[in-house]
Structure 1
Amino acid sequence: MTVKPLVKICGLSTPETLDAALQAGADWIGLVHFPRSPRHVALDRAAMLSRRARGRAGRVVLLVDPGDDLVAAAVAAIDPDLIQLHGRESPERVAAIRALTGRPVMKALGIATASDLDAVPAYAGIAERILLDAKAPPGAALPGGNGRAFDWSLIAGATLPEGWMLSGGLTPESVAEALARTGAPAVDVSSGVESAPGVKDPARIAAFVTAARGGF
C-alpha cells in the first residue's frame, strides 16, 4: 500500500503565508530562528505564528548549532512539536538537546557524495527523523535553503531510517519526480516556494502540496 507523502513548508514568516500552508494541507510548518537566514523570525513573532498553527499542523523550529540557552528560549516561546537541527551538531549534541527539552529532534544532513550518507546511522538511533538536504556549496552563508538539489541516485538502495525526509532544491515542478525516484516518505521545501529569498508565494505553496500529493 502506497502511503501519502508528508509535506513540510519551511521558512514561513507571515500570517498570510502560514495560512496558505495550512489551507493547502501542509503536515508541518517550519519557523527558522537563525539571524543569517532571510527566513529568520524573532522568537516573539515565531511564537505568534506557532500559536496560529497549533492543532492544525506540526510546528517545527529550525535552529543552527544552538547553545542551551537558545534551545530553552526557543522551546519556551514556540512550544514546537519538533526541533530541527540544521548545523554541525554531533550525535552527542542531538542527544543532549533531546534530553534538555524532552522534544523530538530532526537532524539535517548535507549530501553531496555517497560518502555523506555514512553519517546517517550515527544519528538515526538518536534523532526521531533524518532530513537529507543538499550540502551547502563552499563558502555559502547558509547551511540549507540554498535552492540546490543533490543527486537523488545517491540514495538509491541506501538503508534509511523510517520517516526520513527529502529536501534540497525541491519545487512544485520537481517534487513529483523526486518522490517517484526516491520513495521519500516526506518532503521539505523552502526556497522552492518563494518569489524572492525569504518571500513565500501562496500560489507556489499550494502548487507544491498539490504536486506532492498527486495521485493520493
Structure 2
Amino acid sequence: MNKPFIKICGITNIKDAALATSLNVNSLGFNMYEKSARYIPKEKVQEIIGELPENTIPVMVFVDPTFDYVRSCLDISPKIIPQFHGKETQEFCSSFGREYIKAVRVSRKEDLELGSQNYSNAWMILFDSYINNQFGGTGQVFDWNFFKGQNIDKDYLVAGGLNADNVLKAITSTLCKGIDVSSGVESSPGIKDLEKMEKLIKIINESHG
C-alpha cells in the first residue's frame, strides 16, 4: 500500500520546519498571503529552505497574487512549487514554468470534477473546505461523501480540519493521494505541536506499512 503524501502547511519558523522534516513529511507549506495568521515573509522562507533536506518539497501558498509577487518569491529557489488558493486561472497558474498545486474550496459535489477539469495541467489539486473569506487553515471538515462515485482524473490532496482522529477516515473516504494539514497539528495559529504531528504521522505510517 502506497504511503500517502504528507504536507504540513502554515510553517512560520525554522524550529517547526526541522520538527516536521525529522518526521519525514513530503512537503512543507509556507503562506505568502499577508492577511493570513500564518503569513511568513519570503526572506524567512529563504532561510528555512536553505536548511531543508533535499527530498522535502517547499510549497508557497498564494491567494490572488500579482504575477510579479509570485515571481519574486519563486526566485528564492528553483525547488519551490507554488500553490494557488484564490480565483487564479489555469493560464496564470501555469505561467511560471513550474509544477503547481491548485486549491479548490469545496461546498458541493460538483466542485470536485469542475476543479480537476479547470486545472487539468496542475501537478495536484488540493480539495479544501469552503469557508467564506478563509483560504486554508479553516479547521473545518467538508463532506467526504462528495467523493463517492466521482472519477477524478488527477492526483489530489485533501485538507480541512484534519487531525490524528480523522485522518485515516479522510484518506479511505476520499481515495486521495495525500493530505495537507495545518491547524490540526498546531498549539496556536502558526505554531506547530510536535506531539500532534508525531501522532498523526504515526497513525498514517502504521496503517500504510
TM-score, normalisation: structure 2: 0.93
Indicate whether 1:117 and 2:112 are aligned: yes
User: 1 CA distance for matches of 2:205 and 2:118?
Assistant: 28
Deviation at 1:213, TM superposition (A): 2.1
1:44-65 per-position Cα deviation (integer Å, ceiling 9, x unaligned): 0011111111404111111111
Say whether the 8 Å CA contact 1:43–1:78 is kept in structure 2.
Answer: no
Say whether the 8 Å CA contact 1:131–1:164 is kept in structure 2.
Answer: yes
User: 2 CA distance for matches of 1:123 and 1:146?
Assistant: 24
Give the partner amino acid of 2:130.
Answer: K
Task: Report the equivalent of 2:100.
Answer: 105
User: 1 CA distance for matches of 2:155 and 2:112?
Assistant: 16
Say whether the 8 Å CA contact 2:31–2:39 is kept in structure 1.
Answer: yes
Indicate whether 1:127 and 2:122 are aligned: yes
Task: Report the equivalent of 2:154.
Answer: 162
Indicate whether 1:179 and 2:178 are aligned: no
User: 2 CA distance for matches of 1:168 and 1:31?
Assistant: 16
Deviation at 1:192, TM superposition (A): 0.7
Deviation at 1:188, TM superposition (A): 0.4
Deviation at 1:9, TM superposition (A): 0.4
TM-score, normalisation: structure 1: 0.90
Whichever structure has more helix as a proportion of its residues is 1
* More moved, 172-181 vs 7-16: 172-181
How many equivalent pairs are there?
Answer: 208
% identical aligned pairs: 27
Task: Report the equivalent of 1:199.
Answer: 191
Task: Report the equivalent of 2:40.
Answer: 41
Say whether the 8 Å CA contact 1:149–1:170 is kept in structure 2.
Answer: yes
Partner of 1:148, secondary structure, is: coil
Say whether the 8 Å CA contact 2:28–2:56 is kept in structure 1.
Answer: yes
